[in-house]
Structure 1
Amino acid sequence: MARKMRVVLFLGAILYGWIGLGLLNAQQRPVSFEFRHVQEEDGLSFNFISCFLHDRDGFLWVGTFDGLNRYDGNHFTTFKYLRTNQNGLLNNAVHDLCEDLDGNIWMAMEGGIGWYGKKTRQFRYISSMNGRALGSCNNILCDRNGDIWFTSDRQGLFRYLISPGTIQAFPYDPVHDPLGTTTRIVKNGLLLDPHQNGLWIADGRGLRYFDIGSRQFTDSRHNPRALPIFNQHHTSALTLDGTERLIFSDNIDHRIVVYNLHTQQLERTVTPVSRAQRDVFDIATIFVDRQHNLWTSSWNHVVFYIEARSYQCTELTHTNAKNTSIAADFFWAGWQHPDGTIWLGTVNGISYTNPERAFYDVYDLGTLFSELVDERGIISFLEDADGSWWLGTSIRGLLHYFPQTNQLDVYRLPDGTPKYPYGLPITGLQAYGNELYIGTQNALFVFDKSRKTFSGLPLPSVIREKTIYLRNFRLQHDSLWVFGESKQTFCYQLTQKKWTNYPILSPSKDPRFRVRFSLIDQKGNLWLEVYPEGLAWFSKQNGQFTLVDVPQGTPYEQTITSFSEDKKGSFWMASGGYGLIRYDPYKKQVSRWTENEGLSYDYCESVLADRSGTIWIGAHNKFSVFSTAKNRFLNFTLPLNQSNIEYQNYLFPLRNGHILSAQKGYLVELKPEKINHPPTKEKVLISSMILPDTTYLLPGSGDGIELAATDNTFSIQFSVLAQLQETPYRYLYKLEGYDNNWLEAITPGSISYGKLPGGNYAFQVKAVDINGVETPVSTLAIHIDTLFYKSIWFWALIALLVLGLLYRSIRSKAYQTAKLHHLNLQATRLERDKAEIHYQNLINHLNPHFLFNSLTSLNSLILTKPKEASLFLRKLSAIYRYILQNKDKEVISLANELAFARNYVELQKSRFEDGLLVSFTIDPQLLERQIVPVTIQNLIENAIKHNTIEGENPLIIQVYTEAESLIVMNTLQRKLFVETSNKQGLASLKSLYHYLSKREVEVNETATHFTVIVPLL
């Protein structure tokens, strides 16, 4: 075919004198889809998708070959098998999903079935029946009674009765094949009949129907009514189209069969044929959308879209270089969102597209004419009366494209055109009758559309002589206007074939003076955008262009890149780096919008007002749509030329009200009527609450959540499942009981709160699209426990306690007054007892007998042992110094008291020698405890006073600590007569310690020992 084409083109070149490259492609334009993708990098557990489930709460559950996922449109929650968690997922390979009547999520997995309880947040599973492993389970569904039906790879059909919790097996042939192991039920091979109480099953032999009531199978071997649907088909894919049609694959005849359940007749068959003519293959997946279109995938990795009305098959091919193609050449799961979005679970993640809401079509002319992507590509446009498009390129000549048939003809400019392969850049295209007027920078051509021939149009001599660079062309009735770098404009009368010059009245002497753009306004006036003068309009009466009063000296004057008029008569200009400019010729006002006001990109390349007055702005593949009524921008980016900026985005109006954007080798037909989507009825999904140490998976059913008082810092995640492709939602939120007004989420889909006081709250969130349309409000009730000392009951209890105490205080006031005198008397008596004890201690230690005995011992030592006498004197002096220093103190440290007692014992041993044995055993940790001064000395003195002391029968005194008490114990060998005893020493000591401590002084006497236990303070 290509060879014949070249012959025809060669003959045409000989006939017309120049070369035309025609009919590059004459096939029907294929259906094209723009896919977006969700993959592992977005949080998906694994890219190999096996199944989808949209639950009643609005979440999308995604089964993969490595984990189960719950998706809210922005966040994934992933579940995986954990060996240490008996309540976790049974196996990471999830083959099918369903939801029971209670909202539990059921899974058919490798190794059995299981379910996830939304309220318990736990998994349960079943892996065997009667001791026999279930093996790989491919399909699972919930019937109208709430029972679960599932299939095992080679063990047939099963039912799990939820109420008794038992499993029933239904073999195909109970006699010869009790477990049904001779056939294999395929994945996506189990359906609930929409009308009857039965199941449709697909396996290697074909279709089976199982009547649940009679428990009977109908298949190719048992077909009493001889229905052709049960012939052996080798079925590997099965689905429903609504409630009327059953669609399945017939891999023997290599076709897809559409069967009407109501009439029980075969409606039609479809045989998909791939681009490579691989028409013999087995269908693995069939998905039907709500428009009855088929989406199929074959085992040899070919994906088809089959249009419902014509049953035309379009192969959808994955291309690595094109990120808008489907993610892979095989998918195993399909689902359609209520907004019309098609979700396909491929072996390389999720691919989704929305043909119903697509507001643009892409025409990839680069695939028809690869050289088109050189330089700037398509730069000018003209729509023909027959609906075809004439296109001017930067270096590749004239193109003629038929969008309905995807046919492209290419014509080279006449020989002699300098520099470029197919001629100069075609910057202007105008049609008059059967002729095209083609403008370039220094030449005009006329193209005869019937004969496909070019001819030259002579230019005025002034253009040739001054080599004026031509920049703009405009056809008004039968007048072809030509503008360039001159204060003269040139008009060619097509009927008279005559040139006329018209001046632009301008005092400017700027050598850069030029006409950049022109337009004909709604009243038929011709306007020019002139640098550096601004705007000028043509006065037919005066035969000249007159400048209008436009504010001068603005920084964007040099950067104007496009010129358009809206339906109100205002002029709009795109500027390179200064945003969008509007000039109101009636008010003579200039307005400007930049990125600060919501424009997507300040470097604007083109601007065009559509029929409704909405302004479209293009900058490479970035677009802004400006609503003048709402003063708001809608921004989106097309996935085209993403790594290429060597071109300019041109916008052209179409007769159908659409806008055509030329982007190098692409043409994009924008549809303004579809840019404003109908309001969505979908609510925002509140998916999870994240605390510092845990995450709560919220069911989405409106149930509240209870938090402890310390769990008052958290984040909440939320999202709309169906994301807009052109621009994301904005989210507004409010926490009732804390926030007074609606706030906008800085991070879309997440908000955080910290250290909230206890109480009841209601978190509310809604999504807002670019048109200001809001989704219904979603609410999550939150209760945070109040700290006990901040709760109402605590303060009520405190109030009751205070009142009780006040009442008791008043009631006992009289009693306290009555006891006051008694207490005063007791205090006086205690003080008196204390004074008496101190006095008694002083008297004891100033006892003349003790002093006399001490002085006698000193005298004898002076005569015999002078050195010891000196030591004796120092100890005696220390004893009396200690007594005098501490006579006014209530207590003293045990360490100081022991030092004093040891000095006292040394003096007594000088008198009694071996007749007195005193030992000290003190816990070092108790040395800093307190004791009444001279307590130990008194007790030792008391033991010496009341007991006999002889060398043969010594008095043994032990001073030691035990259980925070000081114990002084001596052997009991009483004297018959004690001269200085007043019988009050121990009684005074007890009284004093009763005053100082809750513990009493204990005195114990046995036949052999006398013990005093003194509490340490």
Structure 2
Amino acid sequence: MYMQKQKSRLPSIFYWLFSGLLLCATTHAQLPRDLKITNFDGSTGFYSRMVRCFLKDDQGFIWIGTADGLYRYDGYTFRNYHKQPNDTNSLPDNNVLQLAAGKDGKIWMGLEKGGVSCFDPATGTFHNYPVRINGKTVPAVISMLLVDHASQVWVGLKQKGLWQLNTLTGTYTAYDRLTDPKRLMPDSKIFSSTTISTAVEGDPGVLWLGTYYGLFRFTTATKELVPIRSQPLQTTVFRDDDFISVAQDGNQLWLGSWAGGLSRYDIQTGQWKNYKVNYAEPKKYTTNIISGIRVRSGKELWISSNDRGLGIFNKQTAQFSFYADDPVHQNDIPAILCYDVATDKHNNIWLMHEWGLTRIQPRESKFRFTEVPVSKTDNKQFYYIRDLVEDEEHIYVATLLADGFHVKNKRTGVDRHFPVKLMPGEEPFLSVFKILKDSKGKVWVVSRDYIYQYDTQQEELVLIDQPAGAQLRKGSNHYSDITEDAKGNIWITSTRNGVFRNDPITGKYAHFYHDPKNKQSLTSNTITAITADSYGRVWIGGPAGMLAFYDPQTQQFSGYAFYSSKNNAEAGNTITALLADRNGMVWAGSDDGLIQIDITKPAPAVVKVYSSQDGLRGDVVYAIRQDWNGTIWFTTNSSLCMVNQRTQRVNSLLLSNDVMKTVADGIYLTVNGNKLQVLTYGGYYSFDPVSLREKEKDSVITITSFRVKDKEYYYQQELKEKGRVRLGATENMFTFEFTVLDFSQSDNRQYAYMLEGFDKDWVNAGSRRYASYTNIPGGNYVFKVKSLDTYGDVNSSVVSIPLHVNVPFYKAWWFILIVAVVITSLLYVFYRFRIEKEREILQLQTKAQTLEKEKTQVQYENLKQHLNPHFLFNSLTSLSSLIRINQKLAGEFLDGMSRIYRYILQSKDSELVPLKDEIRFIQTFISLQKTRFNEGLQVNLRIEEEYMHQKIVPVTLQNLIENAIKHNIVDEETPLVIALFVEDGYLLVKNNLQKKSFVDTSNKQGLDNLLSLYKYLSDRPMLIEEDEHHFTVKIPLI
């Protein structure tokens, strides 16, 4: 920080006169006046007031050394690097006094507490070099730091001269040997104890050093150190060569000194020249302090001064000019204690001063304001320009609330105005709305109440014949717009009485208006806009959805239905402006956006409605024009807009940046086609559309940050060595930050990005400067980003960062294969185990079932053995009776018994027999039983032939019938009725219930044995049902 001293006063009146003359002289240097000034403070992310140094690197970043560490600025945000306790990979000292950049992109810093630090942006690492002299670390303040073309690091130590840092060993070597033929005292002693405040490398290997004792030239190859002076050194007198700043401009060195003003040294001729800011006090130590110098152009230098602030030095006139003397900016730009000045590639000025850092952006407006003076006004300075037409000789201007119609002779510059008539009963304000120069050269002037033509020969405004339609209503028609169709007819709209067509040959008018009795008439008499297309149609528009076109074939207006509002088809659809362009489109401005209608087709069709979603700022469109290049321009209440038909977007230019007055009505083309005018109150702004459509130079987009899991990831070195950035499987959440390092138009930048391999298409980020991704699957990707200008066109090369995200081990093919093999093996082992267990269980169940079956069969056999003797006893009893009574029947009975026992013996070894065999057997058995019971036993067999092939357990039916006889009363008066039939695959044996009160030899095991036996022979169980009338046994047929 430079010493602050107060400026002394000289009471001499000569001083004040001289200063006044000097101030007049200094105005020769031209200061930019239209400035955008930004003071950086905590609200912008810059928290330091003590700014020490400033550096622009080759990539475009700005680096700022402060008392609070190192800052990096990318045009939007500041990033701070500062000392971290117990962290060797950080700054050893926060007070950064000097900055320099190497060709490898590394940032070198000179520190107040001694030492040099090097920051590598590619790796995010700091390498610190403490000052070690004779093996000892010394606390030396770094007063100068320079990295030459050969990447050698040169250091100025406060009051210790020039040193070279060996970056490999970390050692410092002093260079102070010199010879000086003009010295009055040993220069070597002076130089070894001097402070080098500033330095610049001229020719490769030649360093120019500005010191307290003047200028020195040091040759790095020979280590030759030579003082460059205009006269021998005298340390006891007031000198001009206490140099604290330097800049090289070709063969000239410009040096700023403490109290010595500005000096120029010609390297070729060796000539010196000194310039004072304050010639009145040339030998005062608190004035003429030039702290910073930057070359502005071949004619001018930017300079900063401790006692005068920021200014310009004109090299041709040798005059200074300071903003401290500018009444416009004297309160915006510090007038004192400015310590250095720098510029960037966008011609912005960066000023370091006692209160921090200020950026000053000179702006060259592309809009030129032309005032239209008037002789009277009804609204003070707020009279409006409503229309403007220009031809080769004249400029015609329509004014509102002023003095009428203006005609300016372009050759003589004479501006004449013509008042217009007012209709009785109307507001007493002169209102001229529209001007038209038709294809025959006639100039038509439309005022609120009357229609005129301007006679260019007589230079008179002529009131022509008026339309007769005014008779439909009292008062003025309130004319609003005018156009010429393809046949030369002149169409004039009104807001009270429809539209009028003037035949230029006959001078007669045709009137089109709303007639409630005629459905073919106009829907409204309020017409606010009109245009004629190349197909001979005339389009008109107005409020409440009024849009119609005149068809020259039918000679009628046809209503065209459009609804720009999706939510309300009746309201919010006022047509405010119309234009038929040269490309077959009609553009309709409404209070809900801009409507594009294709008229090349037989039926006009809406192509698109442009709204705020398409970039439109302000929905109400006031005026539409097409420039010579075919571009559609229109105005809203806040913006000048251009339609990019390629991208179908609206590019809006906020007029507040360039047009200080509000827009009155719209934009209009001049006759030569290369200028547009924005009309406002008091005058109009002219601009060249090409100047707004000029594409910015190809921009270089830069990745400013790459954060993985919200932690900075320095990828550049890895990308350079391996060709891609490799991330772990858990590092699949990351954010890219990017920008174009443009410090003048950063607000207008648009961006698009994509993660190739993840995003299907480019993501339009607008002005957002970051892209975040989460849960990215493992794989190869390429992050791409590009810059778009305000018109949506790409204006930068695409920056690509190849990425590889490791696949989580549990998703890797080998892990999945191993898991699949393990699971398959386990399943196979489990399957084999289950199969084996099931086989063992099945074997046991089979054995158990076999034993149970054998048991059941034994029991059943026992049952049969039990039944056989019982049956035999009963049969023999019946046979003995028959022998005595009926020998023939006894013979038949004996034959039946023989067949029964033969069947029993034959089926003894069979589990199942055909049902037909069992039926044949049971018929024999029934005939024998009827011998005993006669009509007391009735057996009904109703079994269809189709079931006879199915099978049944042998003697089942005999057992069941025998069981029925055994448990029921068999009497001719109350016969036992047994029915045998098939139902649902079951053979039913059903008998009526007339139970005996006592049954001999009933062990109740016969049916149970049958149930068990059928359980093993059939999937369907044997069923036993009993109610109060019947007993039924259902035997599954097998």
Smaller-chain TM-score bracket: 0.5 to 0.7
Q: Report the counterpart of residue 289 of structure 2 in structure 1.
A: 282
Does the 8 A contact of 1:723 with 1:729 survive in 2?
A: no
Does the 8 A contact of 1:53 with 1:97 survive in 2?
A: yes
Q: Partners in 1 of 2:148 and 2:594 — Cα distance? A: 59
Q: Report the counterpart of residue 342 of structure 1 in structure 2.
A: 348
Partner of residue 550 from structure 1, selected from 526, 539, 547? 539
Residues 668, 462 of structure 1: alpha-carbon distance in 2 compared, 3 angstrom cutoff: closer
Identity %: 20
Residues 721, 317 of structure 1: alpha-carbon distance in 2 compared, 3 angstrom cutoff: farther
Q: Report the counterpart of residue 127 of structure 2 in structure 1.
A: 124
Q: Partners in 1 of 2:811 and 2:420 — Cα distance? A: 92
Q: Partners in 2 of 1:560 and 1:686 — Cα distance? A: 46
The CA deviation at 1:191 is 0.8
Q: Report the counterpart of residue 391 of structure 1 in structure 2.
A: 372
Letter in 2 for 1:594: S
Does the 8 A contact of 1:535 with 1:550 survive in 2?
A: no
Q: Report the counterpart of residue 449 of structure 2 in structure 1.
A: 486
- Structure exhibiting the larger radius of gyration computed from Cα positions: 2
Q: Report the counterpart of residue 972 of structure 1 in structure 2.
A: none
Q: Report the counterpart of residue 906 of structure 2 in structure 1.
A: none
Q: Report the counterpart of residue 431 of structure 2 in structure 1.
A: 470
Q: Report the counterpart of residue 778 of structure 1 in structure 2.
A: 799
Residues 481, 204 of structure 1: alpha-carbon distance in 2 compared, 3 angstrom cutoff: farther
The unaligned stretches of length 5 or more in structure 1 are 1-25, 226-230, 364-388, 393-397, 399-412, 822-1017
Q: Report the counterpart of residue 107 of structure 1 in structure 2.
A: 109
Q: Partners in 1 of 2:500 and 2:95 — Cα distance? A: 71
Q: Report the counterpart of residue 629 of structure 2 in structure 1.
A: 612
Q: Is 1:296 the counterpart of 2:291 in the alignment?
A: no
User: CA deviation digits over 1:288-328, x for unaligned, max 9?
Assistant: 25777532222224323467898887655799998997698
Residues 756, 454 of structure 1: alpha-carbon distance in 2 compared, 3 angstrom cutoff: closer
Residues 136, 701 of structure 1: alpha-carbon distance in 2 compared, 3 angstrom cutoff: farther
Q: Report the counterpart of residue 955 of structure 1 in structure 2.
A: none
Q: Report the counterpart of residue 168 of structure 1 in structure 2.
A: 173
Q: Report the counterpart of residue 190 of structure 1 in structure 2.
A: 199
Residues 209, 124 of structure 1: alpha-carbon distance in 2 compared, 3 angstrom cutoff: same
The CA deviation at 1:122 is 2.6
Q: Report the counterpart of residue 35 of structure 1 in structure 2.
A: 36
Residues 193, 500 of structure 1: alpha-carbon distance in 2 compared, 3 angstrom cutoff: closer
The CA deviation at 1:688 is 2.2
The CA deviation at 1:217 is 2.6
User: CA deviation digits over 1:194-229, x for unaligned, max 9?
Assistant: 34x22111234432211223333322569899xxxx
| TM-score computed with the length of structure 2 as normaliser | 0.58
Q: Partners in 2 of 1:439 and 1:801 — Cα distance? A: 91
Residues 630, 173 of structure 1: alpha-carbon distance in 2 compared, 3 angstrom cutoff: same
Q: Report the counterpart of residue 154 of structure 1 in structure 2.
A: 159
Does the 8 A contact of 2:719 with 2:725 survive in 1?
A: no
Does the 8 A contact of 2:485 with 2:538 survive in 1?
A: no
Residues 607, 502 of structure 1: alpha-carbon distance in 2 compared, 3 angstrom cutoff: same
Residues 127, 580 of structure 1: alpha-carbon distance in 2 compared, 3 angstrom cutoff: same
The CA deviation at 1:135 is 3.6
Q: Report the counterpart of residue 501 of structure 1 in structure 2.
A: 464
Residues 739, 607 of structure 1: alpha-carbon distance in 2 compared, 3 angstrom cutoff: closer
Q: Partners in 1 of 2:579 and 2:74 — Cα distance? A: 42
Task: Give the root-mean-square deviation of aligned CA atoms.
Answer: 5.5
Q: Partners in 2 of 1:319 and 1:623 — Cα distance? A: 32
Does the 8 A contact of 1:57 with 1:701 survive in 2?
A: no
Q: Is 1:594 the counterpart of 2:599 in the alignment?
A: no
Residues 359, 497 of structure 1: alpha-carbon distance in 2 compared, 3 angstrom cutoff: closer
Does the 8 A contact of 1:686 with 1:698 survive in 2?
A: no
Partner of residue 738 from structure 1, selected from 752, 758, 770? 758
Does the 8 A contact of 1:63 with 1:95 survive in 2?
A: yes
Q: Partners in 1 of 2:611 and 2:28 — Cα distance? A: 44
Residues 155, 423 of structure 1: alpha-carbon distance in 2 compared, 3 angstrom cutoff: closer
Q: Partners in 1 of 2:81 and 2:307 — Cα distance? A: 31
Q: Partners in 2 of 1:651 and 1:551 — Cα distance? A: 19
Residues 63, 728 of structure 1: alpha-carbon distance in 2 compared, 3 angstrom cutoff: same
Q: Which moved more, 1:650-659 or 1:160-169?
A: 650-659
Letter in 2 for 1:202: G
Higher RCO (CA-CA < 8 Å; seq separation 6+): 1
Q: Partners in 1 of 2:483 and 2:276 — Cα distance? A: 53
Alignment of 1:800-879 (within 5 A): none
Q: Partners in 1 of 2:666 and 2:628 — Cα distance? A: 18
Q: Report the counterpart of residue 70 of structure 1 in structure 2.
A: 72
Alignment of 1:252-651 (within 5 A): 254-255=261-262, 257=264, 259=265, 261=267, 263-264=268-269, 281-288=288-295, 294-305=301-312, 315-316=322-323, 330=338, 332-337=340-345, 340-342=346-348, 344-347=350-353, 348-351=356-359, 353=361, 360=366, 389-392=370-373, 398=374, 413=375, 441=401, 443-444=403-404, 469-472=430-433, 474=435, 476=437, 481-486=444-449, 488-489=451-452, 495=458, 497=460, 499-504=462-467, 513-518=477-482, 528=492, 530-531=494-495, 538-544=502-508, 549-550=538-539, 552=541, 554-555=543-544, 577-580=591-594, 593-619=610-636, 622-628=639-645, 631-640=648-657, 648=664, 651=667
Alignment of 1:6-45 (within 5 A): 31-35=32-36, 37=38, 39-40=40-41, 41-45=43-47
Partner of residue 217 from structure 1, selected from 225, 228, 247? 225
Q: Partners in 2 of 1:28 and 1:617 — Cα distance? A: 40
Q: Partners in 1 of 2:615 and 2:413 — Cα distance? A: 47
Alignment of 1:669-684 (within 5 A): 669-678=686-695, 680-684=697-701
Q: Partners in 1 of 2:767 and 2:747 — Cα distance? A: 15
Q: Secondary structure at the match of 2:165?
A: strand
Residues 473, 802 of structure 1: alpha-carbon distance in 2 compared, 3 angstrom cutoff: closer
Q: Partners in 2 of 1:303 and 1:686 — Cα distance? A: 34
The unaligned stretches of length 5 or more in structure 2 are 1-26, 180-185, 234-238, 513-536, 547-572, 841-1038
Residues 204, 801 of structure 1: alpha-carbon distance in 2 compared, 3 angstrom cutoff: same
Q: Partners in 1 of 2:769 and 2:275 — Cα distance? A: 44
Q: Partners in 2 of 1:488 and 1:804 — Cα distance? A: 100
Q: Report the counterpart of residue 869 of structure 1 in structure 2.
A: none
Does the 8 A contact of 1:359 with 1:670 survive in 2?
A: no
Q: Which moved more, 1:544-553 or 1:305-314?
A: 305-314
Q: Report the counterpart of residue 3 of structure 2 in structure 1.
A: none
Does the 8 A contact of 1:519 with 1:564 survive in 2?
A: no
Does the 8 A contact of 1:198 with 1:212 survive in 2?
A: yes
Residues 597, 309 of structure 1: alpha-carbon distance in 2 compared, 3 angstrom cutoff: farther
User: CA deviation digits over 1:736-758, x for unaligned, max 9?
Assistant: 33333332337711122222233
The CA deviation at 1:436 is 9.1
The CA deviation at 1:107 is 0.8
Q: Partners in 2 of 1:511 and 1:177 — Cα distance? A: 99
The CA deviation at 1:536 is 6.1
The CA deviation at 1:179 is 7.5
| TM-score computed with the length of structure 1 as normaliser | 0.59
Q: Partners in 2 of 1:524 and 1:266 — Cα distance? A: 75
Residues 267, 741 of structure 1: alpha-carbon distance in 2 compared, 3 angstrom cutoff: farther
User: CA deviation digits over 1:320-365, x for unaligned, max 9?
Assistant: 998997698847242433xx4535244454526476xx562566xx
Does the 8 A contact of 1:134 with 1:155 survive in 2?
A: no
Letter in 2 for 1:613: G
Q: Partners in 2 of 1:352 and 1:264 — Cα distance? A: 36
The CA deviation at 1:118 is 3.7
The CA deviation at 1:724 is 6.7
